[in-house]
Amino acid sequence: MTAAVAYGVCAFVVVLWPEAALRLLGWVAHLVNVEKFAGDVTISFGSFLIGLFQILVYAYAAAFVFAWLYNKFIQPRS
């Protein structure tokens, strides 16, 4: 749910302030010419849902791997 809320806030920022969001993406991704790669991106309801689904799958996969590693290393040694 945290990833879904963060994704929703991010999409909201992109809709309201696309230039600022593009600049932030450039800073995060260390890109100088971010407009070249993501300058024509628009958000529709369908693209929002597809992105939301992707972020939920990624978050679940990351949580699964983290939990598996945690359980593997927390078990007492015989």
Q: In angstroms, rounded to a whole number, what is the distance separating the alpha carbons of residues 74 and 76?
A: 6
Q: Please compute the mean of the pLDDT values over residues 20-41 and round it to a whole number.
A: 72
Report CA Rg, the chain. Answer: 17
Sequence ranges of the domains in the chain: 2-74
pLDDT tens track for 31-68: 677 666 666 667 889 988 998 999 999 999 999 999 99
Q: pLDDT confidence of 78, banded at 50, 70, 90?
A: low
Residue 70 has pLDDT above 90, yes or no: yes
Are the C-beta atoms of residues 59 and 51 closer than 8 Å to each other? no
Question: Which residues lie closer than 8 Å to 15 by C-beta, 6 or more apart?
Answer: 43
Residue 18 has pLDDT above 90, yes or no: no
